[in-house]
A and B are shown apart, each in its own frame.
Chain A
Amino acid sequence: MKAVLAGVGVAAGLLALNGAFTGAFGAAVAMPPYLLQILCLAGINIILAVSLNLINGFTGQFSIGHAGFMGIGAYSAAYFTVTFGDRIRSALAFLPEFGRESAVLLAALSIGALLASIAGFFVGVPSLRLRGDYLAIVTLGFGEIIRVFILNIDAVGGARGFSGIPKLTNFFWIYSFAALTILIVYRIVHSSFGRTLVAIREDEIAAEAMGVHTTRAKVISFVVSSALAGVAGGLFAHYLMYIHTNSFTFLKSFEIIIMIVIGGLGSISGSILGAVLFITLTEGLRQFAQYRMIVFSLLLIILMIVRPQGILGHREFVTFLTKRRKPLGTAPGSTGGH
């Protein structure tokens, strides 16, 4: 996994950059806080959408439990920071303040990603043997089970929610991790392993006949996707400083699905477009809050009737504009068909 190693290297480099950046950034770019918050939440949604697209769009396994993994990441990262944050800070006393804070955040996010990927493994192994709509329901069920269990853990606040999380996330970190997520997913999809994933999406039986270990490939894709959702959850927790299991219901999973379906299943730039579009419309329609989801659901139904492959389909933005060819050798709209 060269991409992952490269990612770790990039993250370490970013650690140093962040200090130089936060000071300069905070002062130089005086953004209105409202706009800044929307941009930050959009960034977190980009991570969620791109990572979900790896399993739903490229591997063709329709999962509706993404919010559960996001929740695991959020809660474990937040618990880590609150419990061990001070010890890390004192152990790293020789570093300047931004260095210590960044180290705490990175450690917490790693924990979040690790736990989310472990959960992804245990959810993925039994459920990825199932096909299509069964998988959808099982992942939905697992997502809800995860939520109910977190709700019953008193150490993280239970039904009161988890408060007192330090604000460690900022614009810089969110977009660094969004870029990292895009890089990881891009590298996976364009590797030979990525081709196996697309082969599974197009025809699972044929892929198996060609010697692809389908369950293994699907589980790996699912675990990577869950880990990235965990990172998004960790960033989310350290951005809002308060989390509650109500933020991680299946309605959140549905939101992420709307993003990737609108943008185009199997298109990274499509997911980014979908996430940005979703946030823009959500905020734009804020004064009509009660009509918001009606608009989205109608949009989803009409899109399915008129253009079931989403705005970009399987294509990426650049190829969408320049060449009218299909990059990964497939007919549009054939995702998941049996």
Chain B
Amino acid sequence: MTTFFQQLVNGLSLGSIYALIALGYTMVYGVLRLINFAHGDVYMIGAYVGYYLSRRLRGDEPSIVSALLVMLGAMLACAALGVLIERLAYRPVRREARLTLLITSIGVSLFLENMAQLVFGPDPKFFPSLAPRADFQIGGVRLTSEQLTVIAVSFLLMILLRFFILKTRTGKAMRAVSFSLDASKLMGISTDRIIAVTFALGSALAAAAGVLIGMQIPKIDPLMGILYGLKAFVAAVLGGIGSIPGAVLGGLLIGTSEVMVVGYLSSTFRDAIAFGILILVLILRPQGLLGRVQKEKV
């Protein structure tokens, strides 16, 4: 039983990373109906920005202030990157067929991966430890401070996001745009601005996930975004794409089940489990756990 709880804690901390990335997928899908393939790579860039910032900002001792600065810096940089990607690559093809948009996002994803290999070098880099660390024991279950930080920070960000979307005017506009882009344009909402804000928010969350994963699994490399991105996408679909609580729930479920498979079956199937879940969801409940059924109108 202790093993189970230990795995559960590990799963939840991995799952909150997936949840943070999944939020970006789900928000962008909400406003543009686009699976943003490049989102996983934004997360990778976030981890790298965090890496370079922490090497510069970290003093002799790891401190919480520098950890916060690193995270904020990475989030800002990636928010700018997200807006840039949207402006340069997606906006010109927004009115084209959805397939065109999808292929463009594959192009952006390949571009970021290869650019990162060129700029950062293809070899993995090791994230320095940012915050002072401590371990806790609760009934035989070991909680590392990294795990607690990851879970706490993710939930804090998710609560902030929820507040933003439900209580602010921009958040309301985002909900309107994801309900109907054309209608909200007619109502005087500046849809271009809202889409840019959505990309900025989603990318900032991905960057936070990148820094958090750097704290937990200190190895980062230019292709790390591919698998995390895909699994986070599966999480978004599992929860119901377009639904923000769904993305969180999906992320936690995917993370937990992945850790359980590794713990109880075999680590070689670690990457297959997410896709297995995806296929089951799409066959049994295509709208996801918390998603709404969308009727196709002729």
Query: Which residues of A approach B to under 8 Å, CB–CB?
Result: 62, 126-127, 129-130, 132-134, 136-138, 140-142, 144-145, 148-149, 151-152, 205-206, 250, 254, 257, 261, 290-294, 296-298, 300-301, 304-305, 308, 333-338
A146 to chain B, nearest CB (A): 9
A-B pairs with beta carbons under 8 A, tally: 122
What are 28 residue pairs bridging A and B, where the CB atoms are less than 8 Å apart in the complex? A130-B282, A132-B99, A133-B35, A134-B282, A136-B35, A136-B102, A137-B230, A137-B237, A138-B279, A141-B230, A141-B279, A142-B275, A145-B272, A145-B275, A149-B272, A152-B269, A261-B103, A290-B117, A294-B111, A294-B114, A294-B118, A300-B106, A301-B111, A304-B96, A305-B89, A305-B92, A305-B93, A336-B99
Please pick, from B109, B278, B296, the residue contacting A141 in the complex, using a CB distance under 8 A.
B278
Give every chain A residue within 8 A of B271 (Cβ-Cβ): 144, 148
Q: How far is the CB of A294 from chain B (nearest CB, A)?
A: 5
Which residues of chain A are within 8 angstroms of B209 by Cβ–Cβ distance?
A: none
* Residues of the B chain whose Cβ atoms lie less than 8 Å from the Cβ of A136: 35, 102
- Chain B, 186-239, CB within 8 A of any chain A CB: 226, 230, 233-234, 237
User: Smallest CB–CB gap between B213 and chain A, Å?
Assistant: 20
Q: Nearest Cβ distance between residue B124 and chain A, in whole angstroms?
A: 17
Q: Are B118 and A142 in contact (CB under 8 A)?
A: no
> Is there an interface contact between B93 and A297, defined as CB atoms closer than 8 Å?
no
* A337 / chain B contacts, CB cutoff of 8 Å: 97-99
Interface presence of B148 (CB below 8 A): no
Nearest A residue to B276, CB-CB: A145
Across-interface contacts of B102 in A (CB, < 8 A) = 62, 132-133, 136
B98 x A132 contact (CB < 8 A) = yes
B181 → A minimal CB distance (Å): 14
With A250-B226, A304-B104, A336-B99 already in contact, 20 other A-B pairs whose C-beta atoms are closer than 8 Å: A132-B102, A134-B282, A136-B102, A137-B278, A138-B278, A141-B274, A141-B279, A148-B268, A152-B269, A205-B296, A290-B117, A297-B110, A297-B111, A301-B107, A301-B108, A308-B93, A333-B96, A333-B97, A335-B99, A336-B97
Q: Which residues of B contact A (CB under 8 A)?
A: 34-35, 89, 92-93, 96-100, 102-104, 106-111, 113-115, 117-118, 226, 230, 233-234, 237, 268-269, 271-272, 274-276, 278-279, 282-283, 286, 296, 298
Residues of B within 8 A of A296 (CB): 110
Pairwise interchain contact B98-A133, C-beta atoms closer than 8 A = yes
Given A130-B286, A142-B279, A337-B97, also A151-B268 (CB < 8 A): yes
**Least distance between A46 CB and chain B CB atoms (Å):** 21
CB <8 Å contact, B275 and A308: no
Complex formed: what's the CA distance from A205 to B298 in Å? 7
- Chain A residue numbers with a CB within 8 Å of B111 are 294, 297-298, 301
A308 to B93 CA separation, bound complex (whole angstroms): 9
B-side contacts of A305, CB under 8 Å: 89, 92-93, 104
Taking a contact as CB atoms closer than 8 A, the residue among A149, A294, A304 that contacts B115 in the complex is A294
Q: What residues of A have a CB within 8 angstroms of the CB of B118 in the complex?
A: 290-291, 294
Does B97 contact A334, Cβ atoms closer than 8 Å? yes
B40 to chain A, nearest CB (A): 12
**Which residues does chain A contribute within 8 Å of B109, judged by CB atoms?**
297
Answer whether A301 and B104 are a contact pair too, CB < 8 Å, given A294-B111, A333-B96, A336-B97: yes
Is there contact, CB below 8 Å, between B275 and A293? no
7 tightest A-B CB contacts, nearest first: A141-B275, A337-B97, A300-B107, A336-B99, A297-B111, A297-B110, A301-B107
Chain B residues with Cβ under 8 A from A141's Cβ? Answer: 230, 234, 274-275, 278-279
User: A148-B269, A152-B268, A335-B99 known; A126 and B283 CB under 8 Å?
Assistant: yes
A149-B272, A308-B100, A336-B97 are contacts. A297–B282 as well, Cβ < 8 Å? no
| B283 proximity list for chain A (CB < 8 A) | 126, 129
Q: Is A335 a contact of B103 with CB atoms below 8 Å?
A: no
Q: Say whether B279 contacts A304, CB under 8 Å.
A: no
How far is it, in angstroms, between the C-alpha of A129 and the C-alpha of B282 when the chains are bound? Answer: 9
Which residues on B sit within 8 Å (CB–CB) of A129? 283
Cα of A250 to Cα of B279 in the assembled complex, Å: 17
Say how far A249's CB is from chain B's closest CB, in angstroms: 9
Residue of B35, B111, B113 most packed against chain A (CB within 10 A): B111
Judging by beta carbons under 8 Å apart, are A126 and B106 in contact?
no
- List residues of chain A with CB within 8 A of the CB of B99: 62, 132, 335-337
Instruction: Name the B residues within 8 Å of A261 (CB-CB).
Output: 103
Decide yes or no: A304 and B103 within 8 Å by CB, A140-B230, A294-B111 being known contacts.
yes
Distance between Cα atoms of A144 and B108 in the complex (Å): 21
**Complex partner residue of A335 from B97, B272, B276, CB under 8 angstroms:** B97
- Docked CA distance A282–B110 (Å): 15
The answer to whether A127 touches B279, judged by C-beta atoms less than 8 angstroms apart, is yes
Instruction: Provide the bound-state CA to CA distance between A132 and B110, in Å.
Output: 20
CB-CB under 8 A from A151, the residues of chain B are 268
Closest to A134 in B: B282
Interface centre among B89, B226, B272, B296 (most CB of A within 10 A): B272
Which residue from chain A places its CB closest to the CB of B118 in the assembled complex? Answer: A290
Interface pair B35/A137, CB less than 8 Å apart:
yes
The distance from the CB of A225 to the nearest CB of chain B, in whole angstroms, is 17
What are the residues of chain A within 8 A of B96 when measuring CB–CB?
Answer: 304, 308, 333
Cα of A126 to Cα of B281 in the assembled complex, Å: 11
List A contacts of B108 (CB < 8 A): 297, 301
